[in-house]
Chains A and B, each alone.
Chain A
Amino acid sequence: MGEVVQSAEITMANAHRDVGGNCCSGGAVAFAYSNTPAADFQNFLSADPTAFVSQDEDGNALLHMLVENMHCANCIRTIEKTLTSNPAVFEARVNFSTRRLLVRWDEVKSDAADLVKPIIDLGYALTPFDPSLMKTATEEADRRLLKAMGVAGFAAANVMLLSVSVWAGLFSNDMGPSTRDFLHWISALIAMPAVAYSGQVFFKSALGALKAGRLNMDVPISLAVILAVGISLSETIQSGEHAYFDAAVTLLFFLLIGRYLDNRARTKARSAAERLLLLKAVAATIIEPDGSHKSVPVDTVTVGTIVHVAVGDRFPVDGQIQKGFTTVDNSLVTGESLPIDAAVETSVFAGTLNLSSPVQVRATKTGDNTLLGDIVRLMENAEQGRAKYVRIADRIAEYYAPVVHILAALTFGGWWVAGFEWQVSLLQAVAVLIVTCPCALGLAVPVVQVVASGRLLLRGILVKAADGLERLAQIDTVVFDKTGTLTEGRLDLVNRADIPEKSLNLAASIAKESRHPLAQAVARRGSNTFDLADVQEHPGRGLSTMLDGKRVRLGSRIWCEVRDDANGSDNLPELWLDVDGEKPVQFLFEDCLRPEVAETISSLRKLGIEIELLSGDRGAVVQMIASDAGISQWRASVTPEDKVRRLEELKEAGKKVLMVGDGLNDAPALATAHVSMSPSTASDVSQTAADFIFQGRSLLAVLEAVRVARMSHRLVVQNFSLAFAYNAIAVPLAVFGFVTPLFAAIAMSSSSLIVCANSMRLNAVQREEKS
């Protein structure tokens, strides 16, 4: 009985658990995701929070933290309220978009660790960070774009106001030249600073492209805007009739809207590998040759060192068990839903979780050489590979920009040769640049993207990557993971009907003291549980306690001493409840398929998509699931590296693959695939690696996403065609000098409106489909 563990610590944390009400009341869901608050708290301490505490100008302490497991409004409130109920705290503010928490408090009254312990106990793991290091470039860009957009919007509205007056005067012929010049001058005063400020976004990018010897969409934009303002200014000085200030600023305003929408979509995707590193144990307890324990940073552990790993801790290194017997949750590495028993000589991997008993491990691989380190590297490589994808808008710009420039140059040359002054010729060339300017082109992609994302969001599908829809539209193969993707990812009791109410409640009361997935499945189903004083966990065997003088056991067949012939049904995982003197009761479990799996698979096939299943689980289980789902291509016992290799094979064969997976072991594969999708129950890292996240249980979300992506692609192509059609009409007019500022303004707005209206059809098309 040397390995018996008192689970008092866990029971204490369980007491906070409060299920019911909202999507997750009071951290209940967070708690379910959390490994163990005790271990999380140790992680928090070993990250040395005091080093991250800064002071504000009033001498109050400030601490920034990353929060894990936050899901809904209730989580925000629970965290903030728990903190502010502490009298030492002045302010606690959660940023839900970036998953961060800021606390301002009086350091004299409380230290950081005591302050946040209640939050961690609720299941929200915290990691302190230095905001100056985390302030990403994209966030800065986001703010600058927004400001530029505001300024351009202000200028556009006011200049348009003045321009409309000028146009009205042109028609009615009662505006004198002095009034017109006056209005032009005011327009110039508004437009020039606005263009100088807001246009920088485009000017910088254009300069960058030119320096690299390339042309992008921003080059014609910058040229058009600068030339338009310059020419208009010189016209105004010479008291000319036409000024293009309104065209220049509205162009900027429209394009900035498109750019901002695009940027927002992009900020949502953050580097996945960064989050993965949070999983690494920060400190390790090593055992010195003289037998004394010592806590050291995990980087300093060398191969051959003996490491002590407590219950609920993650293994800090890859190694072999030296002493002790425990259960290990390997799902991080293998995706296998059932924990495995680990005796002496069993290999364990860094990042996996020690579930039931303290053990000593001899390190065989440390630091970046561990399997977890390999996964991180695989993912970083894959992410870099994907960054090479060139978006459709950029591909078009590559051809479009030179054509526009040549046209403008030809116009200038043509008019000059025809004997006009160079100023007049230049004015015509600028008109060409303004008219061809890709206002509609700039909006063609972002507007469709926003409409499509909104549409998908209603169905619970989150689009994370900016170019995700574009890539998803191209796929011809879908690779599924099994556990958590085709299946629900958790074991559920399947023979509920055969179990007497009393036995279930008793079993649930015992089971709630354990973290073993089977025990938790029982605990979830119990309706009337009570607290048992003395539940003991016997790793690899089961749980035991005393009730009314009788010994009660819950655990494996052997542990409960069930005779082998008793009801030996199928291959499903099982638990037995044995009360002294009573007939043992069997609990059977299964990881059920998600609803509508078969439908989704067959519909995807009808769209001409091939389906494959890759799982880290055993062959028999995978085969069963594959046949239920209707998948003929499957592979079992696949390691994360194998998955990546298979995906690369498919890539070489010219396939565009959508990978759907949830586990950390899928994360590299998700990053390798052409495009990827994760359920919202997936590990944080997988969610970060994936381009799409779907909520809810039904797998139909995958089908829906593919459909919307293909429809969006069609709309984008249509938008580009519309924009080109508009150019085909407008450009000849501009070349021959028929374009006035009024005409340019009308053409530009109408083409943008048509593109937007066409994008909105995405909603209409879907409604028809439903009815």
Chain B
Amino acid sequence: MTVLIYLIPIALFLGGLGLAAFIWSLKSGQYEDLEGAANRILFDDEDK
């Protein structure tokens, strides 16, 4: 069972990574204009 000592922290760390990524994306406003994002995918030019 000693393997748990590694596995549980790893699992928690990976989960935490996902959570951190989610909160980052929320904070950087990526959920603010979902309709707009759906439309922007239609632009084919690369400029900013």
Contacts and interface: CB of A to CB of B under 8 A. Distances in A.
Given A96-B35, A98-B32, A147-B23, 19 more contacts: A72-B39, A73-B39, A73-B42, A73-B43, A76-B36, A76-B39, A77-B43, A94-B36, A95-B32, A95-B33, A96-B33, A97-B35, A146-B31, A150-B19, A150-B23, A154-B22, A157-B15, A161-B11, A179-B4
A97 B19 contact: no
A688 B13 CA distance: 45
Given A73-B42, A73-B43, A76-B40, A154 B35 contact: no
Contact of B33 (A72, A77, A98, A147): A98
Interface residues of B, number: 23
A237 interface: no
Given A77-B43, A95-B36, A97-B32, A190 B22 contact: no
Which label, helix, strand, loop or mixed, suits the secondary structure of the A interface? helix
Interface in A419-455: none
Given A84-B48, A150-B26, A186-B8, A97 B33 contact: yes
Contacts of B18: 154
Given A97-B32, A158-B11, A158-B15, A147 B26 contact: yes
* Top-4 shortest CB links A-B: A96-B36, A73-B39, A154-B19, A73-B42
Contacts of B43: 73, 77
21 contacts: A73-B39, A73-B40, A73-B43, A84-B48, A95-B32, A96-B35, A96-B36, A97-B35, A143-B31, A146-B26, A147-B26, A154-B15, A154-B16, A154-B18, A154-B22, A157-B15, A158-B12, A158-B15, A162-B8, A179-B4, A186-B12
Contacts of A47: none
Contacts of A76: 36, 39-40
A95 B11 CA distance: 37
A760 interface: no
Interface string A498-522: 0000000000000000000000000
A162 B32 CA distance: 34
Contacts of A94: 36
A146 B24 CA distance: 12
A186 B11 CA distance: 12
Given A84-B48, A143-B26, A154-B19, A190 B39 contact: no
Interface in A116-162: 143, 146-147, 150-151, 154, 157-158, 161-162
A150 B11 contact: no
A190 B12 contact: yes
A514 B39 CA distance: 34
A314 to B, nearest CB: 29
Contacts of B34: 97
Contacts of A146: 26, 31
A174 to B, nearest CB: 10
A725 B22 CA distance: 37
Contacts of A190: 12
Contacts of A72: 39
A522 B36 CA distance: 35
Interface in B1-29: 1, 4, 8, 11-12, 15-16, 18-19, 22-23, 26
A512 B22 CA distance: 53
Contact of A97 (B23, B36, B42): B36
Contacts of B39: 72-73, 76, 96
Contacts of B42: 73
A361 B22 CA distance: 59
A95 B33 CA distance: 6
A187 B10 CA distance: 15
A77, A147, A154, A161: most-surrounded residue (chain B CB, <10 A): A154
A584 to B, nearest CB: 48
Contacts of A154: 15-16, 18-19, 22
